[in-house]
Structure 1
């Protein structure tokens, strides 16, 4: 079933070879996806969230795997324009929804930096936009929100945990959502590491206190001095600082967990090296005697439902730093790559 007429072509940002986004992206006209079948749903994109992973994918996916006119992006909000007969009944034509695309769609270059997108409802994380959340906000909460839920799952942070938690990069897209989720899940204390100008913002998310990483450099030495006698139960690193993990015994409990979701500054090769060392080098041979956790994001529909419950309970709010026009995608990706963003960035595609 379909709603109003759907054009034969649409505008889309595409790339056909790997590389930096400024060199490979083009805004062109491409065929609109065909009407959905089975459990598929066709969406008209309103807004799309910007994430550093967008440029990572364009840079690292091998040439042989990049299809012609691949479309980047991972999350969006929009309107259901048509649905296959097997799509869930509550996703009706005309509904406003938010969605995080499955990993398979990302690898195939079927992202939402375009006017229309067709996805399988069985493999995508889709939710109706709850009351109190704008379509702009809905476009950029899904991916980081699901990641925050996964961090709790893999870090074994149960409801009412009463833990003391350190978040490195607390003002960023994922860090800002995780701080709120951690507080909502019952953390006793959440300490956010950020720059001084972002301190008030992070405290407003529910953090107990903030640490300016510039004033208190080197950070690991400050943490050992300040928290050596009262170490954290859990550390989340959204930036990717290897030294923060190797020195973590100075401020992380022996049975605590160190979760990394950030890209290391020294490049993809060294990131792989660090991850292998952290996970496989035993403490009795000189490795760091603290649990290291890293995982592959999963678009689990169960988590997006729990996330929307927290939104309805007003325990999580979305903080948008800037909304870019559709033609300004490269500018948005430039800013996202700086990792100096307070909250989230949004691309206006079709608008409300």
Structure 2
């Protein structure tokens, strides 16, 4: 470590608000020199941006978020100090920093150097570039865990069909690919402009949600064999309320998995109350038999390895919408917030990264 510079550039979250107000680029932040046991020091090559980044900036007060903290949670990089872990200097890795952990450590992806727990990393396959790899793990693990852990799907989907609401979202895009890689038939929704994108990911059938009443479609057009799982990858309360009708389209014991219903304002409180009432109402009073699950993904090295094995085998492809230079982080977040990105928005932290 003696040949490392003493200071680095980093984007830190210093206030509550949108990225334009919350973020500050610093050029004289000390590089970590005291690396906690079980952590390795990594030189960051590229970082992936996610909606959770700016939502936490806008939602959490400074004291709750431990600010100032370095922004973003996933990245690709190179080990510069293994610090007694399983990792060696020069190893090419991809990492997922748990947002809850960053509140304590102040570490984040949008810095030139960061220390990372050894179990929060996986080796980057040679055929996958740092840019491609940097945006995989956070949404990839969300999709993987939604399907195979929370949703209870097996890794042999022969003869089974699942429904993905929000197939063009980052989570939905990976979920389509994972499900197809395991043999499932996939029906997915998105707006009409993203039909080809969703079909290219492998969706067997496409539904333009802007032209139909999705509840009416699901209730009035039951499959001969019902869906094994419904994944709501958008986070809207309107789609979450579909759960109340799920006996019509989910198999007995099927699971309705939601990435997290997100009310847009006080006007949606009645919808949220209706959903909550539906969740607690017993079956003999008209309650729903099928399971409703909301979850938050956690870094799991076995899941990371499974995901990158599929990528290395070219059964799943990384999804990059756009790449921004390190100085253009605010513009990059504007792209994420536009909700027009198909794939991940990536920051090139190391200008030599490909």
**TM-score (norm. length: structure 1):** 0.90
Q: Which residue of 2 aligns with 1:27?
A: 25
Displacement after TM superposition at 1:258 (Å):
0.5
Q: Structure 2 matches for 1:164-179, cutoff 5 A? A: 164-179=161-176
Q: Secondary structure at the match of 1:19?
A: coil
Displacement after TM superposition at 1:249 (Å):
3.2
Q: Secondary structure at the match of 2:69?
A: coil
The 1-side partners of 2:32 and 2:303 are apart by 28
Task: Say whether 1:344 aligns with 2:344.
Answer: yes
Change (3 A) 1:231 1:57: same
Displacement after TM superposition at 1:228 (Å):
5.6
Which of residues 91, 97, 100 in structure 2 aligns to 1:101? 97
Give the paired residue count: 343
Which of residues 114, 117, 141 in structure 2 aligns to 1:117? 114
Q: Which residue of 2 aligns with 1:232?
A: 227
Q: Structure 2 matches for 1:211-290, cutoff 5 A? A: 211-216=207-212, 218-227=213-222, 230-240=225-235, 241-267=239-265, 270=269, 276-277=276-277, 279-290=279-290
Is the Cα–Cα contact under 8 Å of residues 96 and 138 in structure 2 kept in the other structure? yes
List per-residue Cα deviations over 1:20-67 (Å, max 9, x = no partner). 222211111321111535322111111111111111222233332233
Q: Which residue of 2 aligns with 1:73?
A: 72
Which stretch of the first structure deviates more once superposed, 7-16 or 130-139? 7-16
Displacement after TM superposition at 1:312 (Å):
1.9
The 2-side partners of 1:329 and 1:336 are apart by 11
Structure 2: gaps (5+ residues): none
Which of residues 176, 181, 186 in structure 2 aligns to 1:184? 181
Displacement after TM superposition at 1:176 (Å):
0.7
Q: Which residue of 2 aligns with 1:62?
A: 61
The 1-side partners of 2:302 and 2:265 are apart by 33
Task: Say whether 1:203 aligns with 2:199.
Answer: yes
Displacement after TM superposition at 1:317 (Å):
0.3
Q: Which residue of 2 aligns with 1:298?
A: 298
Displacement after TM superposition at 1:267 (Å):
4.7
Displacement after TM superposition at 1:178 (Å):
0.8
**TM-score (norm. length: structure 2):** 0.89
Structure 1: gaps (5+ residues): none
Q: RMSD between aligned alpha carbons?
A: 2.3
The 1-side partners of 2:286 and 2:340 are apart by 34
Change (3 A) 1:8 1:277: farther
Is the Cα–Cα contact under 8 Å of residues 231 and 252 in structure 1 kept in the other structure? yes
The 2-side partners of 1:292 and 1:135 are apart by 36
Is the Cα–Cα contact under 8 Å of residues 48 and 346 in structure 1 kept in the other structure? yes
Q: Which residue of 2 aligns with 1:317?
A: 317
Change (3 A) 1:332 1:263: farther
Structure 1 runs of 4+ with >6 Å offset: none
Displacement after TM superposition at 1:112 (Å):
0.7
Displacement after TM superposition at 1:272 (Å):
7.2
Q: Secondary structure at the match of 1:247?
A: helix
Displacement after TM superposition at 1:337 (Å):
2.5
List per-residue Cα deviations over 1:301-352 (Å, max 9, x = no partner). 1111111211122111012111112122222222222333212111111141
Is the Cα–Cα contact under 8 Å of residues 164 and 176 in structure 2 kept in the other structure? yes
Q: Structure 2 matches for 1:125-164, cutoff 5 A? A: 126-151=121-146, 152-162=148-158, 163-164=160-161
Task: Say whether 1:38 aligns with 2:33.
Answer: no
The 1-side partners of 2:140 and 2:65 are apart by 28
Displacement after TM superposition at 1:277 (Å):
4.1
Is the Cα–Cα contact under 8 Å of residues 235 and 257 in structure 1 kept in the other structure? yes
Change (3 A) 1:212 1:13: same
Is the Cα–Cα contact under 8 Å of residues 261 and 294 in structure 1 kept in the other structure? yes
